[in-house]
Amino acid sequence: MKRLYLLMLLGLTHLACISQEVIGISSDLELARISDNAFIHISYCTLPGYGRVGANGLIFIDKDQAFLFDTPWNDSLTSILVSYMEEHMGLKIQGFVPNHWHDDCMGGLGFLKTRGIKSWANQRTIEIAGEKGLPIPDHGFRDSLKIMLGEKSIHCYYYGPAHSMDNIVVWIPSEKILFPGCICKSLDSQSLGNISDGDLSEYPMTVDRITDRFRDAKIIIPGHGSFGGTELLTFTRSLCNQY
């Protein structure tokens, strides 16, 4: 099933709006194309106290290969996404990187491991996963990681604690796409959200470091809600002042 949405991209001055195709895979899973080589996957889960919550992940493609950043909320939804990527998109998933240890980032890692899909993560994420009895990513890095997908590079960086102690950002220079995940808030957010596993004193400085480094980002994807441009980081920084 396919639907067309008109999404306003605030802050992208060269685009007032685009006709955005959103593919409904199941009642709790959608795909939205954001460039020739990238999709956002949006999965939904009902959480106590929050209701039905959508979470964003990223799929980056080079020819018939793909890399996955964040899984849907659980193994079941991740299985549906992987099947769709393989059977309907003709993609071979080369690897996976989570933003941090929460379910909306690596709740489907257990399924990926049953499929033999390699995973990389911040070493802090690996340590936390081990402490909490969660599935553990295969390979760790400390400050940065460079991965090649075909001839295109993918860069992962740890800039410090914010939403969680282990949260990273993913940068795809060929697309000018930055995926800071739950570090970054959508423009309709009222607060920084769940910060029980993060560091409020470090949060603003982490956002500042990310903002300074990626001033040329064209598309920025938050962990929840609509994507946009660098104004999302500016807005997130302003939310830090509430605390």
Which tokens hold the place of 71?
């899984």
- What is the crossing angle of helices 231-240 and 203-213, to 10°? 160
Task: Show which residues are catalytic.
Answer: 100, 102, 104, 163, 182, 185, 194, 224
**CB–CB of 226/187 below 8 Å?**
yes
d(CA 162, CA 171): 18
d(CA 53, CA 172): 26
